[in-house]
Amino acid sequence: MKVRSAAFKENARAALGDEALQAALAKAKGGFVDKRRIAVEGLPEFDAIRDVAIEIKEHTLSHLDYYLEQYESQVIASGGQVHWARTPKEACEAVVAICRQAGGRRIIKGKSMVGEEIGINEALGAAEFEVMETDLGEYIIQLAEEPPSHIIAPAVHKTRDQISDLFQAHHGKYGLTERVTEVATIVNEARQVLRDIFIAGEIGITGANFLIADTGSNVLVTNEGNGDLTSTLPRVHIVTASIEKVVPTLEDATTILRLLGRSATGQEITSYTTFSTGPRRAEDLDGPEEYHVVLVDNGRSELLATEYRHMLRCIRCGACLNHCPVYGAIGGHAYGWVYPGPMGSVLTPLMVGLTDTVDLPNACTLNGRCRDVCPMRIPLPDMLRAHRERAHAQGIGGGLFGIGLSLWAWLAKRPSLYRLAADRFSAFLGARGRKAGAFRSLPFAGAWTASRDLPAPARVSFARQWRRRQAENK
């Protein structure tokens, strides 16, 4: 996927002016937040489970090599194959090679963020495979030829009306004659069409929420059951997963599962939790003939020894997006790459470089709500600040603003000069603005006064008033 984060400000402006998007965002916002709150309140030990889950993840990250190798040997023992990919390119090549060898052309996909990260659909399209998304949200945005705007609700930016339009435009070939407008009929229409797609699928590609080292299984959570069908119906099942998805045991996975659904959608558990281990055995009723796992690093192993290590605890629940006021204002596409919101503003600069993405860690008020709701207690604001420090050190994106800030800091380190400047500033603007109370516009303050008045400074600063008072009291 092309990185469009350099145009963040323009993207954000367009998003704020997009009425349909704003309606969709407003509708989604409260729902996610309320449902999560109710689910968390209903589980008094939620915080204790968080502690255990963090321990599991940190332990695994400290021994990542060990658990990945254990996982690999268990996958092989169950008859599957593991393909290691350092880069998105290697990962795509591995998937394309498996598909070529498999001999089919029709690929069905479960929702996978790492699939988006490595650009698997583009690679498969270029290799002339026919790829169909089977998650309803993904299916909708595939029709719209758009990337996901949310990591668990990819089409959250779409209104029902827009979805009706898409089905009308694309489902004529499946025999749709009347516009579908009700949620139930929209879902039913998708279900009818997807059923044939499932049955025709020759290769199934899914992501993974967890990889279990102990058993060589992958775990997939969905609410539509499309993950089950994608894993079991086609002749070949390919799992694309990033390396930090591994956990030692089934029990570890189920511990974290207790947090995942609640944090993501407010569900105690998703409708489907699918465990897949290797290809179909002789006695199995169904399952694929071939089972492949493509393990993607894409820079993650290098994060282990950095201040960004904790980011590898992320379980992709989307709670940080749902509680982020900036995400809530502009939606996911404005961020310009695969991962939006707070987690995306940490990950994107790490994966595609800071130069073109410097707006992402800056477009945050550091309000800390994301850190509070993160089931893994990832210190997202600290990491965004760390990006800012790197940008500052490398001179990226400072501009006039950076110069102003340096000047201010220079003054702040010189108390007597600062005092003089603050008193003058106060006196000058106070004399001009106190009568009216606030400025409607002011040179150099256009960004502020475009949408708000600037309350006028006092005629006399606190420090000067205090000095006078002390002198009078002596």
Partner 1 sequence: MNVKTEAAPQKATPTVGLLVTCLVDVFRPQVGFAAVRLLEDAGCRVAVPETQTCCGQPAFNSGARADAKAIAKQVVETFEGFDYVVGPSGSCISTLRCHYPELLADEAEWRQRAEAFAGRCHELMRFLTDVMGVERVTAQYAARATYHDSCSGLRELGIRHQPRNLLASVQGLALRELEDSDACCGFGGTFCVKYPEISERMVSDKVAGIQAVDAEVLLGGDLGCLLNIGGRLRRLGSPVRVFHAAEVLADMTDGPAIGEPEK
Residue 177 tokens, joined: 């004659």
**Cβ-contact 182, 176 below 8 angstroms:** no
Query: What is the closest distance, in whole angstroms, from the C-beta atom of residue 263 to partner 1 in the complex?
Result: 17
**Cβ-contact 183, 118 below 8 angstroms:** no
Q: Does 436 bind partner 1 (CB under 8 A)?
A: yes
Q: Does 338 bind partner 1 (CB under 8 A)?
A: no
Task: Pick out residues in 389-408 that bind partner 1 (CB under 8 A).
Answer: 389-393, 401-402, 405-406, 408
Q: Does 434 bind partner 1 (CB under 8 A)?
A: yes
Pairing mode, strands 217-222 and 210-212: antiparallel
List alpha helices for 201-298, DSSP H: 226-232, 250-264
Alpha-carbon distances, residue 187 vs 212, 265, 267, 308 (angstroms): 33, 19, 20, 40
Query: What is the closest distance, in whole angstroms, from the C-beta atom of residue 384 to partner 1 in the complex?
Result: 9
Nearer to partner 1, 86 or 469 (CB): 469
CB atoms within 10 A of CB 77: 12
The CA-based angle 201-206-211, given to 5 degrees, is 145
Residue 464 tokens, joined: 């000067």
> Can you count the helices (H) and strands (E) in the chain?
23, 12
Query: What is the closest distance, in whole angstroms, from the C-beta atom of residue 14 to partner 1 in the complex?
Result: 10
Nearer to partner 1, 24 or 141 (CB): 24
Q: Cα–Cα distance between 64 and 244 in angstroms, integer? A: 8
Pairing mode, strands 81-85 and 130-133: unpaired
3-state secondary structure of 206: strand
Residue 451 tokens, joined: 């949408």
Q: Does 31 bind partner 1 (CB under 8 A)?
A: no
Task: Pick out residues in 372-391 that bind partner 1 (CB under 8 A).
Answer: 372, 385, 387-391
Nearer to partner 1, 111 or 369 (CB): 369
Nearer to partner 1, 176 or 422 (CB): 422
- Among 105, 309, 377, 467, interactor with partner 1 by CB under 8 A: 467
- Among 173, 409, 443, 474, interactor with partner 1 by CB under 8 A: 409
Nearer to partner 1, 25 or 102 (CB): 25
Q: Does 471 bind partner 1 (CB under 8 A)?
A: no
Nearer to partner 1, 77 or 445 (CB): 445
Chain positions contacting partner 1, by CB under 8 A: 9, 12-13, 16, 325-326, 329-330, 362-369, 371-372, 385, 387-393, 401-402, 405-406, 408-409, 411-413, 415-416, 418-419, 422, 425-426, 434-438, 440, 445, 447-448, 450-458, 460-463, 465-467
